[in-house]
Structure 1
Amino acid sequence: MSFRTDPATAGDVLVLGETVIDIVDRDGVQTEHVGGSPANVAVSLARLGHRVRLVTDIGDDERGQRARVHFRESHVQVTSGERGRTPTAIARIQADGSAEYTFDITWDPPVPELDRAVHVHTGSIAAFLSPGAETVRNFLESLPFGVTSSLDPNIRPALIGSHAEALHTFETLAAVCTVVKLSDEDARWLYPAVDPAEVVDRLLELGVRLAVVTRGADGLLVASRLARLEVPAATIAVADTIGSGDSAMGAIIDEFVRAGLESLTEASLRRIGTWAATVAGVTTSRAGANPPWRRELLGDSGVGQSPDGSSSA
């Protein structure tokens, strides 16, 4: 099966969440990239062909201007609150390519408008940090029938209060969302000593239709009430892991929205998982949060695979 390329199958997606300038520290040498988990998801979705609006909170400083240019070049429409300074995160790259973060951020976005969006995504700091977290929760709880939603907690322990508070917030939001993705680190933090398969069971009990746990080089666990399976990770040379989970989230939403999936069978789950692994793999092979454009995955380079797992070459 070939890639989904018909623009009519794409949809308007609204993303609610923070924009952060990642100050990447590699052995004392610093470079800056536009990031923030929801912002990265917005960019990933736009590059995969969706009409995307990002409701966020960017400053009027030089970093904020750089962020606006980044979003414009990736075809993301931005609505932002007014602030003086754009949030930052120092990302220190570890030996395995993972990153440890130190944040300077507040979160107080404008009240979003649904407009023509068929799907709403949120997560990370935006779902937990007051006062913006209350805006996010109220909006998700008010979505009309037929509009789907997704959540990626992307846990930042230093910013989200106690474990009990964070778990309550997460499960409250998960219970009103169609799709939830966690990393294995998120799952361990939220549900200590619980196997990922049991975490997936809990999400499905809360009412989630599609539950995904990403496990780095070990691939993805993808589940619905009808089926579950493991999907291997893409084989790539790792530059760093910044934005890889966000790219996977974008790919999951992309395939979910395009397919209009009513029945999440094993075949549907395999398509979603394979597409997420492919898109995340490309991002992991690059420095910073730099997800692929759909045209790159359609090229002759052999970089990607179609959502059913067949070669794109």
Structure 2
Amino acid sequence: MTFLVVGESIADLIGTPGSWRFRAVPGGSPLNVAVALAALGRPVRFASEVGDDLFGGLLRDHLARHGVGASELAAAPATSLAFARVGADGSASYDFRFDWRFPQTPRLAGVSCLHTGSLAALTGPGGPRVRSLMEAAASAGVTVSYDPNIRPSLLGERDAARAAVEECVRLARLVKVSAEDLAWLYPGEPDLAAARRWAAWPLHAGPAAAWSGGAGDAGDAGAGRLVVVTRGADGAVAVFGDRLVTCPAPAVEVADTVGAGDMFTAAYLAELDGVAVLTAEDVARALRHGCAAAAVVCTREGASPPTPGEVAALLPRVAATVA
């Protein structure tokens, strides 16, 4: 399976906890997912844009070091920046210097899964172009994966942002969303209620996708869209047809949580690589790997991707249940 990841590349300036000192590291949710997929041994293309500046050099070097090609990086006036101030508990708050135009149209030939989301799918003028690419992929039978990764400070009015997110969800077969994202999109609504609503929406019409929600057993029949909700230290839960898959996170000593959701996304997508007909057991296995990968990255600073060995070492401490 070949992954195409589309979205922003950002230089993250990570703060030292309790201070105003910052260290520049590569970031951007889609870039993190692309690099982590490559680190987990999956073939991946990455379409983005960076500036011809010092921070652009940082991002290009990072991609090259992890074997992700730069041939689909468009030129931007300047590389986007995100300042992450880290609290005493390891959580991060963000401030952005961001622009996203996305002038290119990546080739879909040979792609089995298109993953996108975050700022790239919601902010203009690049956002509408990304959503058009999602529609083209879904219509062509390419599995579309989406992660809203909400950044409220850059999204403006909530109703308009919610409409754009819902447009993306309807185009996607695989959706990973954080409980925090859902709380911002639907204030006061339980995360599982929103996830079940998303999972029940009809899939975009098109040829059979590479990963089909289907009849692995009677309970999986017609499952359709998979919606995974990540809950930080409480792990993740997935809605898949009439099944609910729950996976607590392993306890680890947290350095920071930067990139944890992206590592979860890459690991659960990598684990679904090659699955022709998705079952609840496949989802459980994918959630275990996602929670293990997220836990690994939480033990160190920044979004440093885990190796397959690091993920495997934590798996005995991660259990998922299907109901």
TM-score by length of 2: 0.87
C-alpha displacement at 1:171, in angstroms?
Answer: 0.6
* Cα displacement string for residues 233-292 of structure 1 (whole angstroms, at most 9, x for unaligned residues): 0221101000000000111211122333x1422x22211111110011101111000111
1:14-29 aligned within 5 A? 14-26=4-16, 27-29=19-21
1:277 correspondence with 2:285: no
1:41 correspondence with 2:41: no
* Aligned with 2:94 (options 67, 86, 101): 101
Equivalent-residue separation in structure 1 for 2:229 and 2:301 (angstroms): 23
CA RMSD of aligned residues (A): 1.7
The amino acid across from 2:54 in the alignment is E
* Aligned with 1:81 (options 74, 77, 87): 74
* Aligned with 2:109 (options 102, 115, 125): 115
Question: In structure 1, what is the equivalent of residue 121 of structure 2?
Answer: 127
The amino acid across from 2:267 in the alignment is A
Greater shift, 122-131 or 196-205, is seen at 196-205
The amino acid across from 2:77 in the alignment is G
* Cα displacement string for residues 155-213 of structure 1 (whole angstroms, at most 9, x for unaligned residues): 01121221110110011110010111111110100111111110111111224611011
1:173 correspondence with 2:168: yes
Equivalent-residue separation in structure 2 for 1:51 and 1:307 (angstroms): 28
Contact 2:82-2:96 at 8 Å conserved across structures: yes
Contact 1:15-1:121 at 8 Å conserved across structures: yes
* Paired residue secondary structure (2:268): helix
Question: In structure 1, what is the equivalent of residue 183 of structure 2?
Answer: 188
Question: In structure 1, what is the equivalent of residue 245 of structure 2?
Answer: 229
Q: Compared with structure 1, are the counterparts of its residues 155 and 112 closer, same or farther at alpha carbon in structure 2 (3 Å cutoff)?
A: same
1:305 correspondence with 2:312: no
Q: Compared with structure 1, are the counterparts of its residues 308 and 217 closer, same or farther at alpha carbon in structure 2 (3 Å cutoff)?
A: closer
Percent identity between matched residues is 36
Post-superposition, which runs of at least 4 consecutive aligned residues in structure 1 deviate over 3 A?
Answer: 295-298, 306-310
Equivalent-residue separation in structure 2 for 1:231 and 1:24 (angstroms): 29
Greater shift, 114-123 or 201-210, is seen at 201-210
Contact 1:171-1:206 at 8 Å conserved across structures: no
* Cα displacement string for residues 63-119 of structure 1 (whole angstroms, at most 9, x for unaligned residues): 111111101111112311212321101100012211111100100122221131100
Unmatched runs of 5 consecutive residues or more in structure 1: 1-10
Unmatched runs of 5 consecutive residues or more in structure 2: 203-223
Equivalent-residue separation in structure 2 for 1:175 and 1:306 (angstroms): 35
* Paired residue secondary structure (2:256): coil
Equivalent-residue separation in structure 1 for 2:128 and 2:293 (angstroms): 31
Contact 2:247-2:319 at 8 Å conserved across structures: no
Equivalent-residue separation in structure 2 for 1:82 and 1:256 (angstroms): 33
* Cα displacement string for residues 43-63 of structure 1 (whole angstroms, at most 9, x for unaligned residues): 111111111111101111111
* Aligned with 1:59 (options 48, 51, 55): 51
* Paired residue secondary structure (1:175): helix
Question: In structure 2, what is the equivalent of residue 50 of structure 1?
Answer: 42
Greater shift, 73-82 or 184-193, is seen at 73-82
Question: In structure 1, what is the equivalent of residue 219 of structure 2?
Answer: none
* Cα displacement string for residues 9-49 of structure 1 (whole angstroms, at most 9, x for unaligned residues): xx210011000001011212211110001110111111111
1:254 correspondence with 2:270: yes
C-alpha displacement at 1:308, in angstroms?
Answer: 8.5
Contact 2:296-2:311 at 8 Å conserved across structures: no
The amino acid across from 1:219 in the alignment is G
